Structures are given as C-alpha cells and as structure tokens.
Amino acid sequence: MSPDGIFNNIHEQTEAESRPRRLSKEQIEGLISRGEVISNVDCSAKDLSGINMSGGIFEGADFKNANLSGTRLNESIFLKSDFSNANLTGTNMHLAVFNECRFKGAVLKKANFAVAKFVDADFSSADLSAADLTLSSFVQSDLSGANLSHAELSRAAFLESVLTNADLTSANCEQTMMVGVDFTSITLNQTIFHQMLLFKSCFAQMDLHAMDFSMSQFNGSDLTGTNLSNAILTQAGFMEADLSGANLENIQAPMALFVKAKMVEAKLKGAILKQSVFQEADLTSADLSGVDMEACACKKALCRGTKFSKANLTDCDFSHADLSGADMTLTNLFRARFHQIIDEHTNWTGANRDAAFGTDPELAAAEQWQPAL
C-alpha cells in the first residue's frame, strides 16, 4: 500500500474512533457490568427509560433530549456529560457524582438526588420539583431559574452556587447550607427554613415577615432593609451581619446572637429578645421601644441615640456600652448592669435606675491595672 493510502486509512480510523458511538440499552448495561469506562457516547434523543446504569463511569456522554425517566444512575460517575432537556423524572441518582455536567432545561421531577455530588454543574431552568436532595451537595453550580418547589433539601449544601430566580416554594430547607447565595430574586413562598446555615448570603430589601428561621445562622449576611417583622428567630445567629434599616418589629428571638452585628436604624419595637447577645453590636439610632431584653448581654454595644423607652432590661449587662443620647424613659432596669458606660445626654426619665448596678469600683480598678515596669 502506498504511503498516501496508509495515511488515509489511519486518518479514517482516527475519525471513526473520535466519532461519538450510538449504543443500545443492552450495550450500555454490558459495558457497565464489565467495569469499562463509557466515553464519547451519543445517546441524545434516545429512549433509555428504565435502564440500569448504576455503578457506571461515563465521560463526555451526550444525553441531550433523551428519555431517562425511571432510570437507575445511583453510585455512578459522570464527567463532562450533557443531560440538557432530558427527561429524568423519577430517576435514582443516590450517591452519584457529577463533575462539569449540564442539566439545562432538564426535567428531574421526583428524582432521588440523596447524597449525590455536583461540581460545576448547570441546572439552569431545570425542573427539580418534588425531588429528594437530602444530603446532596452543589459546588460552584448554576441553578438559576430552577424549579425546586416542594423539593426536599434537608442537610443539602449549596456552596458558591447561583440560584437567581430559582423557585423554592414549599421546599423543606431544614439544616440546609447555603453559603454566599443571593436570595433577592428567589421565590420563598411557604419555604421551610430551620437550622439553616446562611453565611455571607444576601437578603437585602426582601420581605421575610412572619417566616420561621429558628436556629438558622445568618453570620456575615446582608439583611439591610429586610422585613423580618413577626418572624421566629429563636436561637438564630446574626454575627457580623448587616441589619441596618431592617424591620424586626415583634420578632420572637430569644437566645439569638447579634454579636458585632450592624443594626443602625433597625426597628425592633415589641421584639422578644430574652437572653440574646448584642456584644459589640452597633445599635445606633435603632428603635427598641417596648422590647423584652431580659438577661441580654450588651457589653461594649454602641447604642448612641437608641430608643429603649418602656423596654424590659431586667438583668441586662451594658458594661462598657456607649449609651450617649439613648432614650431610657420608663425602662425597667431591675438588676441591670451599667459598669463603665458612657451616658452623655442619656434620658433616664421614669426609669428605675436605682434598681440597677452602676460601675463596680473594684472591677474598674482591676480592668485598669497595669504591671509595673
């Protein structure tokens, strides 16, 4: 054979090998049973409903527009595979791993995602309604416009992921982790938020009134101007969160943490805040009229111009707090501590200040003690 003929044969063979293969259900199941890696296959628009692909390893597989309803993908691994616009209704993906896969526009209603892992996945405009995502994880994934209504998201994790315009109506987010998520365009109608980790997320200007965020953590989050009135925030955490201008009127927030939170001009009228911690919080010009702050810790809090009128401050500790210009009229200060406070122009009219503790001389001397040089 001439050199040109040999070259043409090699070129044709290379092209044939690089061309995506079309495989039947039986061929796919056979390759999986032999433990072979299935790569460069074209299953687009193919009916693979009910197929058992559990335990398979796929790379560069094309499942666009395929019917995969009722299939078993549990404990499988998919690398750079495409499920765009595929039908995966009721599919079992338990313990499966998906790296750089696309599910854009796919239908995944009532699918089982439990303990599945998705890295750099695209679920934009996908339908995951009523799906089970328990203990699943989504890292650097795109779920913009995804339908997660009625989905089970308990103990799932969404890290550095995008959920713009996603629908979480009636979803169960108990103990779910959503770090760095922008919620401002997400639909949260009747969504269950309980014991969630919502670090460094954005809820600015959102209407979250009367929602239950018990034991959820908003550390470092943006809640500026957010309406949380009448919300249940028992044992919730807002450490270093920004709640400036937020509406927190009549919230139920006993034992909550507001350590170093920024709450400038926040509205907390009638809030229940028993045993909560406001250490080093900035409450400048905030309105806490009529709040119940019994046994709260407010050490080093910044309360300049803050309104506390008619508040219950029994057993509150304001040690080293700045109460300059604060309104303390008609407050209950029984056993409250005001050790080393700044109270320039503070209004104490009608408050039972005699029932409170002032600066402790011995403690003050100890705090100022310096070792001899």
**55-88 pLDDT, tens digit each:** 999 999 999 999 999 999 999 999 999 999 999 9
* Residue 48 near residue 73 (C-beta atoms within 8 A): no
* Banded model confidence at residue 19, pLDDT cuts 50, 70, 90: low
DSSP label of 353: G
CATH number of the 198-373 domain:
2.160.20
Residues of the chain within CATH 2.160.20.80 domain(s) are: 25-161
**Integer CA distances (angstroms), 87 to 77, 121, 148, in order:** 19, 17, 16
Pairing of strands 117-119, 177-179: unpaired
Answer whether residue 239 shows pLDDT above 60. Answer: yes
* Banded model confidence at residue 372, pLDDT cuts 50, 70, 90: confident
- pLDDT tens readout for residues 145-165: 999 999 999 999 999 999 999
Answer whether residue 20 shows pLDDT above 80. Answer: no
> What is the per-residue pLDDT for 332?
98
Answer whether residue 4 shows pLDDT above 80. Answer: no
Partners of 162 in the β-ladder? 142
Answer whether residue 13 shows pLDDT above 60. Answer: no
* Banded model confidence at residue 364, pLDDT cuts 50, 70, 90: confident
- pLDDT tens readout for residues 328-355: 999 999 999 999 999 999 999 999 999 9
Query: Which ranges in the chain belong to alpha helices (H)?
Result: 3-18, 25-33, 361-368
The whole model's pTM is what?
0.87
- pLDDT tens readout for residues 258-303: 999 999 999 999 999 999 999 999 999 999 999 999 999 999 999 9
| DSSP characters over 48-107 | -TT-B-TT-EEES-B-TT-B-TT-B-TT-EEES-B-TT-B-TT-B-TT-EEES-B-TT-B
> Which H or E run includes 177?
strand 177-179
Instruction: Report d(CA 301, CA 308) in Å as an integer.
Output: 13
* Residue 133 near residue 114 (C-beta atoms within 8 A): yes
CATH number of the 25-161 domain:
2.160.20.80
Torsion of CA 47, 48, 50, 55, to 10 degrees: -170
Indicate the SS3 state at residue 342.
strand
> What is the per-residue pLDDT for 15?
45
Indicate the SS3 state at residue 343.
coil
Answer whether residue 9 shows pLDDT above 80. Answer: no
Residue 5 phi, psi (nearest 5)? -65, -40
Pairing of strands 137-139, 157-159: parallel
Indicate the SS3 state at residue 174.
strand
Indicate the SS3 state at residue 243.
coil
Amino acid of residue 213: F
Amino acid of residue 325: G
Instruction: Report d(CA 151, CA 290) in Å as an integer.
Output: 40
Q: Report CA torsion sign: 124, 127, 129, 131.
A: negative
Instruction: Report d(CA 170, CA 172) in Å as an integer.
Output: 7
Instruction: Report d(CA 61, CA 24) in Å as an integer.
Output: 14
* Banded model confidence at residue 12, pLDDT cuts 50, 70, 90: very low
Partners of 112 in the β-ladder? 92, 132
Instruction: Report d(CA 236, CA 157) in Å as an integer.
Output: 19
Can you read off the two tokens belonging to residue 71?
């299939």
